[in-house]
Structures are given as C-alpha cells and as structure tokens.
Amino acid sequence: MNTYQDKIQLEDAIVGVLKTVYDPEIPVDIYALGLIYKIDIDDEWNVNVDMTLTAPNCPVADSILMEVRDKIGFIQGVKTAVVNLTFDPPWDKSMMSEEAQLELGFL
C-alpha cells in the first residue's frame, strides 16, 4: 500500500531522508552538498538515484551508498531502491546549496 498520493510527495519524502545522510568528514548532508544528481520514480514506485561523492577515493563510499539505499528502501510504498554512483560530472563546491556553502565557510 502506498502512503503517498503521487510521485511528487514520494520525492519529497526521499529528499527528506537524504537530508539525514552525512559524509562523516563534512557536517552538511549529502543533499545540501549537491551529491544527488537525479531521483527517478517509475510507475511501480521503484526508485533510482544517481549520486556522486566529493572525491572518487572517498573511504566511506560504500557505507554512504548503502545508507542512501536503505533509507529510501524503508520509505513506505517504495518497491525497490537502486543507487547509482557516478563521477560525471565531477562534483565541485559550486553544486552545494547556499546554506551548505555558508556552513562550510565558502560564502
């Protein structure tokens, strides 16, 4: 059974859980950091997320990807959650929200 009326509500819930995932070395959530490139929800409520990391050699990459997949998968109504890691385009600090840039002293 689906709790959400439409894909927009489900996407809002997904963004909400993404804002609870942090890189342990950076005190800003992965959504505000601009690490989430795309959230796709199909008609069967399968979720595909394209994301990146601040650096290709991130030592906690596996745990971050697993946390993202698990938290999205726990949202009621989500059938499957797949997280795709990409480095194209490469992440840079201009992708961060203004709040994240302020928090990290870039503004």
Is there a contact between 72 and 11 (Cβ–Cβ < 8 Å)?
no
pLDDT above 80 (res 73): yes
pTM over 0.95, yes/no: no
Tens digit of each residue's pLDDT (9 = 90 or more) over 3-49 = 677 899 999 999 999 999 998 888 899 999 999 999 999 999 999 99
Tens digit of each residue's pLDDT (9 = 90 or more) over 50-66 = 999 988 888 888 999 99
Among the four given CATH numbers 3.90.1640.10, 3.30.300.130, 3.40.47.10, 3.40.50.11900, the one describing domain 7-101: 3.30.300.130
Beta strands in the chain (DSSP E): 36-41, 46-51, 80-85
Map out the domains of the chain as residue ranges. 7-101
Mean pLDDT, all residues of the chain: 92
Distance CA 86, CA 73 (A): 20
Q: How many CB atoms lie within 10 A of CB 51?
A: 23
